[in-house]
Structures are given as C-alpha cells and as structure tokens.
Amino acid sequence: MKAFISVDLEGMPYIVIPGQLNLKGPLYEEARTIATKITLIACDELNKNGFDNVVIADSHGPMVNLLVDDLPEYVDIVRGFPRPLSMVSCAEGCQAALLLGYHAKFGTAKSTFDHTYSGRSINRVTVNGDLASEFLLNAYALGEFDVPVVLVAGEAQLLKDDVERYAPWAEVVILKRSLSRLSAISSSLTRIEKELRTAVKKAANKQKTGKMELLAPKKPVLIQIDFLASHFADAAELLPSVRRIDGLKVEYEASSMTEAYKIFELLGLASSGVSALYESLR
C-alpha cells in the first residue's frame, strides 16, 4: 500500500516565531529538524502497519525544508515550488493521506501563524460558501483522487474548528496549543511520538477496514478570495475566468477541485509577483 504525507511547518511543535520559518531565519535549522523527526516517526509507523511506499510532499514556503539524509528506502519526497497542486502534489494512487504540521486559517484568534496559503496577500478563501483553511483545500483536492485524509497533526484550534467538522473520521494529534499568534505550549517529543504512533496505527487500521471517508466539494466549485490589498485583486481579475466582486474580492468557478486548486495556486503566484513589483517601486 502507498501513503501520502503533506508536511507544513507552522503547526509543528515548538515553532512559534518567524525566525523558525524561513531559509535565512536564525532558528530555521531547529524547525527543519523538528519537522523531519515528526515526519519520520509517521513514516516508520506507516511502514510497520502495511504501507510499503510513502510519498512525502515538503509543503512549506519554498518547499525544501525537510532534511533528506536519513530518509528510509521506502520513502519518496516531493520538493520545490512552484509545482502542480502545491501541497498535495503526487498524491494520486495513494490509499491514505496524512497532514502534518497544519495550522488554522487566517483570522483565527490565539492561533500560531494563522493564515490561508499566503499570509502576505490572502485574507479569506471560501469554497462553495464555506470558509476554508489549507486543510480543507487540500482535503478536497485529495478527495478527487480518491485519497482519504486519515490523520491530521497540528495546531489544536485547526483540529477543533475544521478537522472535527469536516473529517470527523480522521485521527488527530495535537502538536501544540496556541497561547497567542506567536506563542504556544507543546508536549515533549517523547510524548508526541507515543501519541503520533498510536494515532497512525489507528488510522491505518481504519483505512484497512473501510472506515475512512472521502471529502470533496459539490461541483461546479465556486471559489471566492478576499485579498489583503486591492492590487492583488487587480492582478487576479486579469485572468478571464476570474470575476471582480469589489475592491478586495474576486471569484471564479471550476469544474473540479483540482482545477480550482490550480487557478488558486496561480493567483497566489501572481500576488507574489505583484508584491515584489510593488516593493521594487518604493
């Protein structure tokens, strides 16, 4: 059997300041080590429970965060950005998906690094009227590949707000409980490892017995994006399929979630380009 793991950083334990999240950050190496340990624990337990191939999608920022020196033979890793379907790239053909280090959507109170895909440009994203987190966007895309989300490990508020609501069958592991946007409390890595191994084993057993469900939106898929500044919406509406709603909001319709996801990813890239252009003109 084949499993898929998407790995983000903001929902990982002990990671609480911006200096842990970017390539030049003073504590970035610490964050990389933490994320790699958590990911390898999940891989090991998956392998012990019948998964002979695990595909890891390194999915934070430039998507080259995980340390690759000690990857087991049964692991393949997807790195680099941009790439097709971003955080869920290469999930096709897998029988189960695990989301590690995931965080709450933008605007969530007392939640570390709350944002939705791009903290610099995007305020809100809705899918068919439902406010979406990265978890929901990715779970919907995975559902179209017939890949159920069997486990989510990350920040406690995300698990409460979104995972319990949309994927109550999935196993959950709290990696940290936020005290503010830049502080949180986490258990020891020893305790986290025990809880994660137990959850992965339970998830694997549920998957084998058909107790996991697929999560997919109704079609056509209507996406609305509220940007943080009007120049991002200016760029977005240049795409013929995108409609401008007001100064900050655009919307578009797609025949599938994967199509909607690709357009969303493109608009995120356009926003990054506009932001870089804006800064160059200062």
Q: How many Å separate Cα 269 from the centre of its chain? A: 17
Pairing mode, strands 221-227 and 122-127: antiparallel
The CATH code of the domain that includes 88 is 3.40.50.10780
Q: Are residues 182 and 85 in the same domain?
A: yes
Task: Please provide the average confidence, as pLDDT, over all residues in the chain.
Answer: 97
C-beta separation of 58 from 7 below 8 A: yes
Specify burial of residue 197 (Cβ count, 10 A radius: 0-12, 13-18, 19+). middle
The whole domain housing 48 covers: 2-115+133-208
- Residue 214 within any structural domain of the chain: no
**Widest pairwise Cα distance in the chain:** 59
On whether both 203 and 269 belong to a single domain, the answer is no
Q: Do 29 and 141 sit in the same domain of this protein?
A: yes
pLDDT in tens, 157-205: 999 999 999 999 999 999 999 999 999 999 999 999 999 999 999 999 9
Query: Is residue 108 pLDDT above 90, yes or no?
Result: yes
The predicted model gives 114-118 an average pLDDT of 96
Q: Residue 163, SS3?
A: helix
Span 151-155, average pLDDT: 98
Q: What tokens appear for 153 in the block?
A: 């490990």
The string of pLDDT tens digits covering residues 13-23 is: 999 999 999 99
pLDDT bucket at 280, cuts 50 / 70 / 90: very high
Question: 123 lies in a domain?
Answer: no
Please say if the pLDDT value at position 231 is more than 90.
yes
- The CATH number given to whatever domain includes residue 234 is 3.30.1360.130
Same domain flag for 193 and 83: yes
In a domain, 109, yes or no: yes
Strand intervals (E) in 59-202: 75-78, 96-102, 122-127, 130-131, 149-155, 171-180, 183-185
Determine, yes or no, domain membership for 120: no
Do 185 and 265 have their domain in common? no
- Which pLDDT does position 51 carry in this prediction? 98
Q: What is the pLDDT of residue 282?
A: 86
The C-alpha atoms of residue 282 and residue 280 are separated, in whole angstroms, by 6
Q: Are residues 65 and 166 in the same domain?
A: yes
Q: pLDDT value at position 20? A: 98
Residue 249 backbone zone (phi > 0: left; psi -120 to 50: alpha; other: beta): beta
DSSP letter for each residue of 257-275 = HHHHHHHHHHHHHHHHHHH
- Strand 53-58, strand 2-7: pairing: parallel
Please check the confidence at residue 60 and state whether its pLDDT lies above 90.
yes
Residues 197 and 258 in one domain: no
Based on the fold, state whether residues 46 and 155 are members of the same structural domain: yes
Q: Which of 159, 186, 208 is the last residue of a domain?
A: 208
